[in-house]
Amino acid sequence: MQESIDTRVRRVQRWLRAAAVIRDPSTELGRRARLLLTAATGLSEQNVDFGLHHAFELDAPEHEIAAMCRSTPLAARAHVVLSPSVFVAPLRAIAIGLCCSRQVLVKPSRRDPVMIDLLREAAPGWFEVESRLHLSRGDHVWAYGSDETLDAIQRDMPEGSYLHRHGTGFGLVVLDESIAGRIGAVTAAVASDVAAFDQRGCLSPRLVLIQGPTPLARQFVSSLADALATIEIRLPRGVLNPQERAAIVRYRDTACFVSEVSAAGSGFVGLDANDGPLIIPPVGRVLHVVRTSRPAERVREVARYVTTVALECTPQLTATIAALLPGARLCRPASMQRPPFDGPVDRRTEIATVIGDTVVAI
């Protein structure tokens, strides 16, 4: 099972080249992909096209792919268990499997198998599809989904297998008074991160912490509501399912009691100017903004769930937040949905193996 980094890099590069036909709207498969993905995801046609052009990671530089390979263990078999979140996510997840092994087995989400079907058609033979996990000693599993789903997988692992957990998570934005004078640019950038995939992905921002006076926070919220309404002209919000719509109503009704709520196109922005309990809003272009004088303390409250954090603040606060979130990706607003192709998008990975009858974190 010895393979050089160069061999693994070339394998991933060939995988990305094979998948490129899906992004190209001039091909039959590219046109069909847009129709199928729009129907399956509920996203608008414009948002699907945006995702394929800006977040379908086909143009990864070689040094990033090499970094992914160096951080990925080798195994005889790799399994990838997918969740129904962001339709572009399988491309990177399978790439990680290919860094690990020449034999990759993929268990798609029953609720959203469309991208896997498209990838099988674009790149036949690169992976196998399995409806149930059949693990053996030495197998590695990269699993994405809710904590409850990952717990169930972990309970059924055989001895000597490995589970790489990517559980419940969301994106965070941290700001301070340094944004004064350029609030419009910052809110336009945050709005672009929110609009992509209608906020369904684990990298999408759901919570904003802003350190500064209340007037600054109110100015930010007003500008953000305008920015979300504006971007909706170019990237309309798609169709929400009944559960998502009900969750938005519950957030709006709850937030009205504890904060100020502003309409933002089809979504909402809530502002808690009193540094109260943190509320994580639902998907559907809804953000909860908290004005706080103690950003580090508030970050600690949600640290285990933060996958990525967009920062517009002083170097000192940036360093403090980075130290509190060692497993999160750090970036600037407008970049939350486009992390480097150097490993899992969610670096909070917890790895578990089975020794005897005991699951052990490693």
The 3-class SS string of 106-123 reads: EECCCCCCHHHHHHHHHC
Q: Is 203 found in the same domain as 350? A: no
Q: Is 209 found in the same domain as 178? A: yes
Beta-bridged to residue 43, according to DSSP, are none
Contact between 203 and 345 under an 8 Å Cβ cutoff? The reply is: yes
Say what the pLDDT of residue 84 is: 86
72 within a domain of the structure (yes/no): yes
For residue 75, the enclosing domain spans 5-167+346-361
Residue found by looking up tokens 């607003």 in the block: 333
Count the domains in the chain: 2
136 within a domain of the structure (yes/no): yes
All residues at 6 or more sequence positions from 66 whose CB lies less than 8 Å from its CB, including other chains: 5, 9
Q: Is 69 found in the same domain as 41? A: yes
Say what the pLDDT of residue 254 is: 86
Q: Is 216 found in the same domain as 143? A: no
Say what the pLDDT of residue 1 is: 63
Q: CATH number of the domain that 111 lies in?
A: 3.40.605.10
Cα gap 301→321, rounded to integer Å: 12
336 within a domain of the structure (yes/no): no
Q: Is 61 found in the same domain as 147? A: yes
pLDDT in tens, the chain (362 residues): 689 999 999 999 999 999 999 999 999 999 999 999 999 999 999 999 999 999 999 999 999 999 999 999 999 999 999 998 899 999 999 999 999 999 999 999 988 899 999 999 999 999 999 999 999 999 999 999 988 999 999 999 999 999 999 999 999 999 999 999 999 999 999 999 999 999 999 999 999 999 999 999 999 999 999 999 999 999 999 999 999 999 999 999 888 887 899 999 999 999 999 999 999 999 999 999 999 999 999 999 999 999 999 999 999 999 999 999 999 999 999 999 999 999 999 998 789 888 876 777 77
Strands (E), the chain: 78-81, 104-107, 128-129, 140-144, 162-166, 170-175, 205-210, 260-264, 267-272, 286-291, 306-312, 329-331, 350-355, 358-361
Say what the pLDDT of residue 358 is: 74
**Among candidates 188, 176, 126, which has minimal Cα distance to 320?**
176
Q: Is 276 found in the same domain as 355? A: no
Contact between 290 and 270 under an 8 Å Cβ cutoff? The reply is: no
CA dihedral 31, 203, 231, 45 (to 10 degrees): 20
DSSP state at residue 283: S
159: left (phi over 0), alpha (psi -120 to 50) or beta: beta
CA dihedral 317, 323, 329, 335 (to 10 degrees): 10
161 within a domain of the structure (yes/no): yes
CA atoms within 13 A on the CB side of 306: 27
Contact between 136 and 158 under an 8 Å Cβ cutoff? The reply is: yes
- State the pTM of this model: 0.94
